[in-house]
Amino acid sequence: MKKFISYLLIGLMVLSTGFANLHKVSAQSTDNLEQKIENKKNKQEEIQKEKSELKDNKKNTEEKIEKNRNKQDSVNSEITTIDGKLTNTREKISTKENEIADTNAQLDKLDNQIDELHAQIETLKEEIQELKERIKKREKLLKDRLRAIQSNGGSMKYIEVIFGAKSFSDLISRSSAVNEIMDQDKDIMETHKREKQEVENKQAEVKNKKKNVEQKKAEVEDKKASLNNQKQELESLKSELDDQMSEKENLLGELEEKEGELENHKVSLEDEQEILRKQEAANQKAIELAKQEKEKLEQLAKERQREKERKANNNSNSDSSSSSSSSSNNSSSNSSSDDSGSTATPQSSSSGGGTFSSPVPGAGLTSGYGPRGGSFHAGVDFGVGIGTSVGAAASGVVISTHTEYDGTMNGYGNAVLVSHSINGISYTTLYAHLSGISVSAGQTVSGGQTIGSSGNTGRSTGPHLHFEIHKGGWNASKSNAVNPMGYLN
């Protein structure tokens, strides 16, 4: 009886040791999962903080866009005003040019009139010269007659001429001749007087015409000079308005360019918000998976505990030989439990080297991490042909997938983002320029699982795989990027 009790106590001690080892393994696994869940929750808080910062940044960008558009509206209004002034000024210049053209036509007409008057003057000069010659001849004739009269005592002896007639017919002839001579003398005097007055009148008329035309020409020339001055002032105003228009158009161009930059930045922020949203969803899924795994481990531990308790109860009711056998079996079980505890303990690895596997094992690098061609290469390029299988660098959850046509990952072409949690640290890996994608957002992947095939999409100079590792979440500024070669095993 004492021997049976001893065996029973030994069996209970062995079982107790087994229970302790099992509990230890379960506790370690549960603790690891608890830590993983806690890390994921911390990551969620970080994502929420990043989302808040992005939201503020986006709001600030939208305010800048609104101010920019208001400024554009103001500049457009100023341009419209200037354009109206320019149109009005051009119309005034056109009017002045028409007036100047009319004035030039008037001047041409006046010049023609002056030329005609000069011609008339020359003609008059000739006529006057002829008149003067005729007057001169008449004056000579009159002088001769006067001298004849004076030589005859101051009067013509017309009576002697008449009474000296030899017959009646001779008398008639002599009387007619005397009358004709007297009429001729009278006509000569009147013609002389008339032509002399005519010459004087024509001279005065031509002088007045010339004076009037020259005066009118002077007035028109003054008007033309005034119009030219007004046109010059309008041309100067137009030049100033053209300068203002050019300045406003340049400013508007700068504002439109700035608006484009802000819009692109806004789109980039929206893309980052979408990626963060997907990171948050992937992280939440990882939390749920970890919780489910923890619940399974806890349930498994409870079931094993119940099984051990059942076996312990059965052993307590067995005979001494079975107790001895149980003791032997428990010793073996104890050894087995110790071995399982050893294998269940997770292997710890430090961050850095060996954390990830190459997405294309055996492929060589064609471009490394760091400055390249005036920019910064935030990842590494593996030289592989189109269609090469690309595997996940570690277990994780797919954050998002992108095509070269959706505009969300500008330049990356077809790309996949995967979230990982390793040793309590969150990482994001990126696989770009893919020819095909084999996974979808929210999908859980294991290390090495095919996520797509390499290609030459996006801004790519040839077939290759572009690979990035980010310590934390991915963002457009690549602020979390690290050199992948320091993390690949």
pLDDT tens digits, one per residue of 290-344:
788 788 888 888 888 888 888 888 877 665 444 444 444 444 333 333 333 333 3
**For 148, how many CA atoms within 13 A lie in the half-sphere containing its CB?**
9
Gap between the Cα atoms of 272 and 266, Å rounded: 10
369 neighbors 375 (Cβ within 8 angstroms): no
**According to the per-residue pLDDT averaged within each range, which of 6-20, 360-374, 393-407, 408-422 is highest?**
360-374
CB atoms within 10 A of CB 388: 20
Inter-axis angle of helices 2-151 and 320-344, nearest 10: 20
Res 161: pLDDT: 53
pLDDT tens digits, one per residue of 337-347:
333 333 333 33
- The position carrying tokens 């030989």 is 321
Res 343: pLDDT: 31
Gap between the Cα atoms of 252 and 72, Å rounded: 6
Helical (H) or strand (E) element with 390: strand 389-391
283: its two tokens? 């992280």
What's the pLDDT band for 167 if we cut at 50, 70, 90? low
Is the torsion defined by CA of 253, 255, 257, 260 positive or negative?
Answer: negative
Going by C-alpha positions, the residue among 387, 385, 482 that lies closest to residue 426 is: 482
